[in-house]
Amino acid sequence: CERPECSCISQRLKVLCVSFNGLQMVDLRHPCVPVALQLLQMGYFPSAPLGPTLAVSLQLLSLVRQVFMCMPPNISAW
C-alpha cells in the first residue's frame, strides 16, 4: 500500500510482528498516520494503542479464537 510522504518530521518505530510465517520486525515511518491504524492496515493487531512494540496477525488471532471456542472447558472432558 503506497502512501504519499508527509511533511512531518519522520520518526521511526520498530514493531515485532507475529504471524504464521514467524516473527518479523516492521519499521513504521509515517507519523501523520496513527501507528495502530498502520498496523491494522497491514493486517496486524497492535499490543497498545500508542507506541506498540508487538503486534499479532489478525489471521493468527482468528485461529486462536476458534481454538479456544472449540476446546473442552476442562481437561477431565478428555
| Whether 66 contacts 57, CB under 8 Å | no
Closest-CA residue to 56 (of 64, 6, 73): 64
Q: Which residues contact 50 (CB under 8 A, 6 or more apart)?
A: 35, 36
Ranges under pLDDT 70 in the chain = 1-10, 75-78
Q: Is the pTM of this model over 0.85?
A: no
Neighbours of 44 (CB within 10 A): 25
State the SS3 of 1-27: CCCCCCCCCCCCEEEEEEECCEEEEEE
